[in-house]
Amino acid sequence: MKILVPVKRVIDYNIKVRVKQDQSGVELNNVKMAMNPFDEIAVEQALRIKEAGDADEVVLVSIGPTQSQETIRTGLAMGADRGIYIEAPHETEPLSIAKLLARVAEQGKPGLIICGKQAIDDDSNQTGQMMSAFLGWSQATFASAISLTADNAIVTREIDGGLETIKVKMPAVITVDLRLNEPRYASLPNIMKAKKKPIDTLAVEELGVDITARLSVLKVEEPAVREAGIKVSSVGELVEKLQEEAKVI
């Protein structure tokens, strides 16, 4: 079985995001970028499935600017076998991404797609679900545990009320949550080996997908600065301020 893992290049989660002066988006120039943390967890899970003998190949696919190939190399250094790169603008919308990934899956015929539940830049949480709809495959989202049988995937999901375990028919699209695993660090020998692993390049036109933007960003603003708190001298003063100022009681 082949496992396909989409990976996205995003601003490193340790970096404070800055809004452009014209408020048209966030600043990406001279900013440290990295693999989306949820996608890193997806790569790790795919590698564990392969190491357990339930898969033969782990293929990474990234859609975005040229630098997205660096993100693929990161996953190859972790242990993935090869990569597929599709050049597209950084702001490509989830709907277009889902269509492109579905076309790649139709051509490559993987038995399983594992992806992060969302990207930390736009937080859309849409791509996996739309991709399963385009393919007509089963889906299991927010996975915190995954086990495979010959024809099914048994997935424990994180939901508002706790945990839910479901069984879905393969092939399937699984989106992963934070508590699924702890991604491995790439060793120096594997980093060197990753430089020789193949990355195929596909054009959007080859896949026949229209990636024209359907949404317009009107303005991006930073969150309002949080006001400083105050200290009160008595319970009576606290109640008064909650009534008169906060108006919550």
Q: Which of 67-81, 169-183, 229-243 has the lowest mean pLDDT?
A: 229-243
Task: Quote the percentage of the chain above a pLDDT of 90.
Answer: 72
Cβ distance 86 to 208 under 8 Å? no
Q: How confident is the model at residue 75 (pLDDT cuts 50, 70, 90)?
A: very high
When mean pLDDT is compared across 30-44, 65-79, 184-198, 235-249, the lowest value belongs to: 235-249
With a cut of 90, say whether residue 153 has pLDDT above it: yes
Find the mean pLDDT for residues 40-61. Answer: 96
Would the pLDDT of 244 be above 90? no
Beta strands 33-35; 172-176: pairing state: unpaired
The domains located in the chain, with CATH, are: 2-246 (3.40.50.620)
Query: Does residue 97 register a pLDDT over 90?
Result: yes
pTM score = 0.86
pLDDT in tens, 59-74: 999 999 999 999 999 9
> What share of the chain in percent tops pLDDT 70?
100
Q: Report pLDDT for 80.
A: 96
pLDDT(225) > 90: no
Burial 128-152 (b: 16+ CB within 10 A, else e): bebbbebbebbbbbbbbbbebeeee
Distance in angstroms (rounded) separating the CA atoms of residues 167 and 39: 22
Name which residue leads in pLDDT, 4 or 16: 4
Task: Give pLDDT, residue 21.
Answer: 86
pLDDT of residue 181: 95
In this structure, what token pair is assigned to residue 109? 């015929």
Arithmetic mean of pLDDT over the chain: 93
What pLDDT, on a 0 to 100 scale, did the predictor assign at position 161?
86
Task: Tell me the C-alpha distance between 101 and 175, whole Å.
Answer: 14
Is a pLDDT exceeding 90 seen at residue 135? yes
The pLDDT of residue 77 = 96
